[in-house]
Every structure is written in structure tokens, then in C-alpha cells.
A and B are shown apart, each in its own frame.
Chain A
Amino acid sequence: MFSPLEVTLIKALEVGKKYKVEEAAKISKMSVDAVFKAAYLLQDKGLAKVEEEKWKEYSLTEEGMKYLNDGFPEEIIARELESIESGEKSIAELEKKFGKELVSIAIGWLRRRGCIEIKDGIIRLIKPVSIPEREALSIIYNDRMAKVDENILKILVRRKLVRIEEFKETYIILLKKPEAELKGYISDLTPELIISGAWRGKEFLKYDIHVPSKDVFPAKVHPYERIIRECRKIFLEMGFTEIKGHYVQPSFWNFDALFQPQDHPARDMQDTFYLDRYIDMDDEVVERVRATHENGWITGSTGWGGEWSYEKAMQLVLRTHTTAITIHYLARNPEPPVKAFCIDRVYRREAIDATHLPEFDQLEGVVLDRNVGFKHLLGLLKEFFVKMGFEDVRFRPGYFPYTEPSVEPEVYVDGLGWIELGGAGVFRKEVTEPLGIKGKVLAWGLGIGRLAMLRLGMKDLRRLYLPDIGWLRNMPAVKR
């Protein structure tokens, strides 16, 4: 059994000839990686040999070139001494003529070879000087791969006159062509073969189906959008209408209409992105909300007391929850039955870390009807979470400023235990009555990030909004 890569290589190469990998790649029209892969597979079958050759090349350094042209320092000094009859000269004089550095190098080497004597600062030549390194340099200069005496080479390298570079080349040798197997077998099914019918009566070459091929990473939907899609699907199946609103909202819809007192900590600049812009709302609804805040109006509530500021309500904010949209929608559609949902971005003035983001997505559903109550809210929650795949749901008392009763649903997750998942409640009368909403509003919401953590096993939510392309490529379309 051969893979297509192997077949291609077998067909392209001559038996017994030594090919460089690049050469083989060129001839077989495959990538170098593919040639390697095919060659190693063939080697395992005893049909090819992959050989690696290593060799060294030598070349002169800048210093080496200088020595080759001008002579070695010891050579220069020896020549100087030879030209003098007495064969001696003071170091000081030599230094003056040739420089301190050159003289000191020369003295070092001449001494080591026993060619000079030094007495009272005077050098005397006592033996003729021969410099085999000079010739070696010249040989290397002419032939990078020349053979030079090992010891001399060592000295040249130590004196930083010659540098050594190591090279490597891989060769492929096809040992034999499995003609028997290739002959009469079809490897690539070509249009010609199909049209001519020449494939008839022939066998198809069998490929090794276990050899993995290259991975492809398809373009796809962001995993987070997949979760949002799933939530939308559930709401739509349950008969809810999808709604959408602007990110910029007046405090009125974000807070006041929801009976959040104007001095409530959640309304602090600390937690909310305010905008330095105010709008005007000329509506009797505003008056009713004012009265409800101040004294309860006709809702049966005591209200918050104090004075309600129109200006505060008219300041714009980046909405802090999607409830700003659902409540506005209910105010416009106050006649039951209404079922609506919203999945969208909200903002909190929060320092960014792995589990807190200044913007994130929230899901919210509301049901407005006359003959519904708290137990129906629990029924909705149960149905919703079961559809999300959380079979076990339980309920604990909760608190939200605009619902009464309020509830914190918990779902059971294997390995994690009971996990709080969002919040829910029945909108207070102080919320519904001023807006003319007829009936009771059952509402629930949760952060999509929390779902993402459970579904995708994410620990760092920042990753959702500044995705790593590698992470996206490797995240399966379905996580099971």
C-alpha cells in the first residue's frame, strides 16, 4: 500500500540515483515536506534510502585576509631582524616602527618557537623562522574544502584567522521501483482515464488510509455566537419575540422606570458609564414614574421618599442591562399577552480581568400576562434551562431592585455542583403600573459569558472579545 505521496515520488525518481531533497521536490512537483514524508515512508518499506551528509567548509576571517596579504606579525619582525646585520634590535624601536600590538603578537609566537632571545629589551634572532600557517592560509583561500594539517588548522582557528562552517545535505536514493505493483494500477484518476474508459480492467492503487493528511481549518461562526444562536432558538421555540435597542439609553429606561432609587449605589458613577448628554421626554409616563418614586403614586407602595430629579433621569448612559430595552418594549406593548426576549451587549464601569469585563452580553426574557404568577416564572425557568441542557434546576430566594418576588435559579453541573445561573423575578407594581402595563411581568436574565464558561470550559472571558485566531481555528464547531 502506498500513499499518493509515495507513488508520486516513486514515479519521479530514477533508481540508484542520488537526489538532493530540493531536487527531488522539483522533479516530483511536491513540497520539500511532502518529499521528506514520502521518502521516510518508502525507507520504512526498504524501497528508498535517506542519507544525510555533513561536511565542513573553511574561510578566512578579515584578520586572516590581512595576514595573507601583509604577512604574519612574526614573519614581519623576523624579516626586519634578518635585514639587520647584527640580527638584533630593541623592542622599543620595533614598537615605534610596527606598533605595540603587532610586536607583542610577534614576540609571543617567535618565543614559543625558540627563534629569539630577549635581553635588556633587545631582541636577537637565533634561528631561522618558517611559517607553515602562511601556506595553509593560502590553500584555504583557494579551496574552501581543502585538506589542511589538523594542528595548523587548530592554530589558525584559535588565532581567529579561519572560521569553520558546518553544512548538511539530505539525499534520497530510490533503491528499487516496485514495478509489479505500479504497473497496471491506476494511481491518479484523471479526466482522460474517465473519458477514454482506460480505467476499465485495471486495478486502483490502494492507499494507506491510516496516514493522516493535512488539516484544514474552515471559516466558521464564532463559538460565542453559536451559544447566542442556541439561546435565540430556544426563545423562538417558546414563542418569544426578539427585540433590540440602542446601546445609549436615558437613565429613565435604564434605572428610573425600573424603580431604582436615584441614590442607589448601582447608579453611582463608580459602576455606570454616564454620558455628558441629556435628553427631553415629554410624556405623562415620566410624571407617573416621578410620583411612584416619591410617594408610590397609586401602586400601593410607600415610594422611596425624597425628591425625584428629572435631570438625573434624562442623563444618557451606556445601558447597564438589557432590562432597559425589555421595559421600554413592554411600555409600548402594555396589553397582554406579550413574550419578548433580548440578547445583547451591556456595559459596566468595571476594571477588566478574567471574569469581569466592561462590556458583555446578556440574555433576558419577559412574559406579560394576566393570570400568571411566581410559579409560572419558575415553570419558564425550568423549561428554559432544561432546553439548555441543564436537567436539574432549583430555586433560591434572590434580590433585584425591580422584582418581587425574586429568585436565583441554580443548575447542577457535573463536576462543579450547583451553579447560580442568572436571576429572575416578577416586576414590581411600582414598575409596571406607571407604565400602564396590564398584568404581571415574569422576567429572567443571565450573562452569556457565564454560559460560555460552562459550555466552552473558558476560564478567561477576555478571550471572547479579543480572539486568538489559533484558538478559533482549533475550537470545534460542536463542543461535547
Chain B
Amino acid sequence: MGGIGMPVVTLYWDELEKLVGKSRDEILKRLPMLGCDIERVEEDHVDVEFFPNRPDLYSVEGVARALKGFMDVEFGYVEYSTKPGNWKIHVDESVLSVRPRIVGCVVRGLKITDEVIRSLMEVQEDLHWTIGRNRRKMAIGVHDLSMVNFPLRYTAVDKNFSFVPLDFRDEMSVAEILEKHPKGREYSFILEKSNTYPMIIDARDEAISFPPIINAEKTRVKESTTDLFIDVTGFDENVDRALNIIATMLSDRGGQIESVEVIYPDRREASPDLSPRKMKISKDEIFGLLGFSLSDDEIRLSLGRMRYGVEVGEDEVEVVIPPYRADIMHPWDIIEDIAIGYGYERIIPEYPETNTVGLTHQWNDVRELIREIMIGMGFMEVITFTLTNERVMYDYVKRRGEEWKDYTPVMHPLTEDHTIVRTDVLPKLLELLSHNKHHAMPQRIFEVGDVVVNMQNKLHLAACSTHAKANFSEIRSYVQSLMRELDVEWDVREGDDEAFIEGRRGDIFVNGKKVGVFGEVHPEVLQNFQLGYPVVAFELDVSNIFDVGELL
């Protein structure tokens, strides 16, 4: 289990302390228990990694809102209101096949400070990356309202359409932007398959945004800006989720949110919709999942701390879910928040009564057995990577393998060294010896582990002995002793494995089936691995001799 790609949010202490109303020490103590990893604590700020299911915490406003509840400064659900405004966006039929969904809102009366702009830009970036999947599914544009002339048209244009993009002085065509503008180059992959391009155009026929690539220079947010227009484009309800996170965060900052009407060819929608969702959860479900009961007050307190509205009934709890909570898919998501609000540190762990009998897997039983014998014969156990390449696995040992039938190639390998999964262990041992030439001889090593042949795991044992006098009789003696210890009837036949010297190599046969090889490693092979001492070796497909159990 492991998480990836979580955005790191920078929170400035002075701002956070002011917004939450608690000292940094108190905040630092409680923050991890809300659900995040603290990356770095600095004098003026703290870098925090929030989980990808909580995009509402990607801004200082969002974190402050959550902390105020969690630290008992404020309690429960706060209603967000929108004022209906006379802002309209007409959606043209042509854009529906390119990037069909648009929502927006107007924010008035906000004091646009550097702090607000900084926070807005950070949350925009993080939302683009998480909910937006790198702007593919959702992209946000922020504009100076005074420069936007309503009503707007959301339409599709061809590549010759031109306007002045952000950070540039001259008009550029869509084609030029995709080719030359830094943002155009970065995000052109999203529109790769399209020959028309989404464009938001205002009442003066001037473009204000080319989503999901770049805004127009004309609506740039400046120090003098007092009111904002925000557009969010994409494909589905993810655009609403992102808009709600931004609208509630700016509302927390003191902005008045006004709704925007979006007129599609077949319907009208008002956005944002900041009304809360409601969910009913039975107490049985809550207590069952947590493993313990809570009083009604405890339920109320736990949910209130997590900023939910709550109505506790006889058998059921009705929860009011704030509009910025994009992650609530299932009642269990809320039950987790009850546990967090209650405090993980307060839960008393209890070992479950579940009664079962332990059982090992044969695969590892066989490995243990072989380990005992090999170590008894003086071989040191090693572990090597299973990722390797055709060069080491085949060319160096003068063998050949067939793609899929034998080896498994991976797509988009990161290095030339790791292109396939190993089908044999011996080449990996020779590779290991080549890294250990400076250590005293003799060196005797073995590995008993997985190889993948025809996409199925097999259990192989390989061993090497290297020193000035290593010879065939030594390795045969190890092979026959191993087989005696394993109580396996075997015979040896002349083989054709070019990894070994002709006349000093043998195939190991059990029940008429070839299960392994042994012999003196060919000097050409030694040279390929830059080895200076003779090496004798064997490899055995143990899963061909023993029942190694069932693999899923």
C-alpha cells in the first residue's frame, strides 16, 4: 500500500495563525491528526502534503476552515450562499465534442492582496494536477471581471483564430500558441486529436480564454482588480467540484459569490451550486465499521469538528456535506471522518477474535529446505533483481530466448538495464560475481528465487563456485549431493548449453524431463562478465521437481 503524487501545500504561519486563531505550536501538534504529512517546518512557513482525496485542503483558506473545526474554534457546517447575477455564457454546439462542460462564478468585494493571489494560484495548480489530471479533465481560468464583457460565448474555433495570450504583447494564432507559447507547448497534448479548439469569447468578440491552455492577456488579474470572474471547463462533474472548492475558499476570504447562467443548446444551468448534499447513515453501519459505539453527542461532536452538519436520529444519522467536499462517494467516507473527528489517538486498539490456523505456502517451504542444504554445502545466499535485459540474460551466456514464450518484456523501460524479467538466475549470479572480484576466493553463492517464464513464476535454484581450481568434478559433486539430499532420482545427459564448455557440461534429467544444467562456465562467457577466475555452476527448475503450491 502506498500513496503517490500528493501535492505539497505551502502554508505561511502569519496567515494561518491569523485565519485559525491558534498558535503555530498548537497547529503543528494537531495538523497531522487531521490527515496529512508534514514535509518541512520553516520559520515563516510549513510545507504540508495533503492526501489526494482532499483537494479542498490545497489552500490556506481550506486548511484554516478545517483546522478551526478540528481545533474547536468553530463548529459544524457553514452555509454558503450565492447571489443570482446577470452573467450569461452561451455554449455553442461546436464545442460539445471538444470540451463540453463549462461552469463559472463571479466574486465581488474581495480585497485582492498578494496573499489572495498567491493562494489562488497555488490551489489552481494543485487542482489542475489532481482533479484535473494535469488539466485534461478540468482547467480553471481566473479573470479581472472589469475586463470581461458579458454575455460570453463558449465555442470552438479553428487554428487560425488569434488573440493576445497571457504574458505576450502580440496576437498569436491558436497554432502559434500551441507551438511557441510555453503553456501551449506544455499542454498541447490535451488537444492533440482535435482540429477545433475551445475558446471563451466575450461580447466584444475578444477572446478571454483558450481552455485548457492559456487565458488572454486582457483579463489579467492586477493589483487594481477588485472583482473576479472564474471559469472552469472540462467534461463532467469534476468541473463543478473544482469550482465549488474555489468559490467557497474565496467566500471564506470575504468575497460575495454571484452565480453565472450557462445556456447550452438544450438546457440552462446555474453555477456554482453551493447547496450541501445530504447523506443518511445508519448507526449500525458506523459502529460496525469502527468496531465500537459512540454516544449521540460524540457523533455530533466528531462530525461537527469535521465541518459537517448533523442530525442524529434514533437509528440513523443525517449528515449535511459541505459543497467543497469532492471526496465523499460513500457513507464509509463519512465514517472515516467520524473516526478522525473523534481522534485516532482516542481509539482503544483491540486484537480481533478471528480464529484461524496459520499455514505456510509450499513455495517457501521448498525454498527453506533448499537453503538449508546449500548453506550446509558452504554456499552463501544472495538476492538479485529480477529485472534484467536480453544482453545479460542471453547474449552474455551465449543463449537465446523468445519474447513472451520465454521472457517478458516491459513497456517503456526506464533504463537499458531493465527491459525484461529474468528467466534464469545463473546470469544474475555471474553478474554479481563480476562486482565482487576484489574479495577473497573461493566465492560460493546461491539464490533460490522466482523467475518468470511465459509470464508464469517458476522457482529456480542457481549456484556458482569460483576460484583458481574450480572444475567440473566439484560442481558435479555439489549437484549429486543436492539431489541425494532432496531424495530425487536423476540422470545426466550430454547437453548443448553454450554457456558451458563442451564435454564439461550436463543436463539434469528427472522423470525423463530436463530440469537443469551444470558444468564449467565457458571462458567466453567469463570474459563477457569480465571474470578472471574459473566458475562452475548449476541451475535447477525446482518447481519442476517439487509441488510448490498454488499461485494466484
Contact = CB atoms under 8 A, between A and B. Distances in A.
Given A241-B359, A271-B4, A302-B330, A464 B292 contact: no
A239 B357 contact: yes
A467 B432 CA distance: 7
B278 interface: no
A18 interface: no
A221 B291 contact: no
B381 A405 contact: no
A183 interface: no
Most central of B236, B292, B329, B435 by chain A CB within 10 Å: B329
B444 A465 contact: no
A462 B544 CA distance: 31
B330 A243 contact: no
A96 to B, nearest CB: 56
Interface stretch (B190-198, B261-269, B408-416, B499-507): B408-416
B404 to A, nearest CB: 7
A469 B379 CA distance: 11
Interface stretch (A148-156, A165-173, A184-192, A418-426): A418-426
A465 B388 CA distance: 12
A430 interface: yes
B2 A321 contact: yes
Given A221-B375, A395-B345, A406 B359 contact: no
Nearest to A305: B236
B352 A219 contact: no
A398 B336 CA distance: 10
A373 B380 contact: no
Nearest to A271: B4
B336 A404 contact: yes
A222 B383 contact: yes
Contact of A423 (B1, B380, B452, B549): B1
A124 interface: no
Contacts of B350: 375-376, 378-379
Interface residues of B, number: 95
B461 to A, nearest CB: 14
B412 A299 contact: no
B349 A277 contact: no
A337 interface: yes
Contacts of B380: 219-220, 469, 472-473
Contact of B291 (A246, A374, A407, A469): A374
A395 B340 CA distance: 11
Contacts of B457: 244-247
A371 B350 CA distance: 12
Interface residues of A, number: 112
Contacts of A423: 1-3
Given A220-B380, A338-B356, A372-B352, A263 B409 contact: no
A444 B1 contact: yes
Contacts of A428: 330, 332
Contacts of A372: 291, 352, 354
Contact of B354 (A328, A369, A466): A369
A373 B53 CA distance: 22
A128 interface: no
Interface string A251-295: 000000000000101100101011111000000000000000000
Contacts of A339: 354, 356, 358
A243 B357 contact: no
Interface stretch (B29-37, B105-113, B519-527): B29-37
Given A240-B356, A247-B386, A274 B289 contact: no
A466 B1 contact: no
Contacts of B443: 469
B533 to A, nearest CB: 13
Nearest to A346: B2
Nearest to B454: A248
A241 B33 CA distance: 33
Interface stretch (B39-47, B118-126, B148-156, B360-368): B360-368
Contacts of A430: 329-330
A207 interface: no
A403 B336 CA distance: 10
Contacts of B409: 275-276
B384 A466 contact: yes
B468 interface: no
A220 B375 contact: yes
B371 interface: yes
A400 B387 contact: no
B33 A426 contact: no
Interface stretch (A46-54, A83-91, A380-388): A380-388
Given A318-B410, A375-B290, A237 B421 contact: no
Contact of B383 (A381, A395, A467): A467
24 contacts: A237-B358, A239-B356, A240-B356, A242-B360, A244-B457, A247-B457, A265-B4, A273-B411, A321-B1, A321-B2, A345-B386, A351-B414, A358-B414, A374-B291, A374-B339, A381-B349, A395-B344, A399-B51, A404-B335, A428-B330, A430-B329, A442-B352, A467-B432, A473-B380
Interface of A: 219-222, 224-225, 232, 235-248, 263, 265-266, 269, 271, 273-277, 296, 299-303, 305-306, 316, 318, 321, 323, 325, 328-329, 332, 336-339, 345, 347, 349-352, 358-359, 364, 367, 369, 371-383, 394-400, 403-408, 420, 422-426, 428-430, 440, 442-445, 447, 464-470, 472-473
**Pairs A-B, 7 closest by C-beta atoms:** A373-B291, A399-B51, A397-B35, A378-B349, A405-B336, A245-B552, A375-B291
Given A236-B359, A376-B350, A378-B349, 13 more contacts: A221-B375, A242-B359, A244-B364, A246-B551, A248-B452, A271-B4, A328-B552, A337-B354, A351-B415, A374-B339, A378-B344, A382-B351, A468-B439
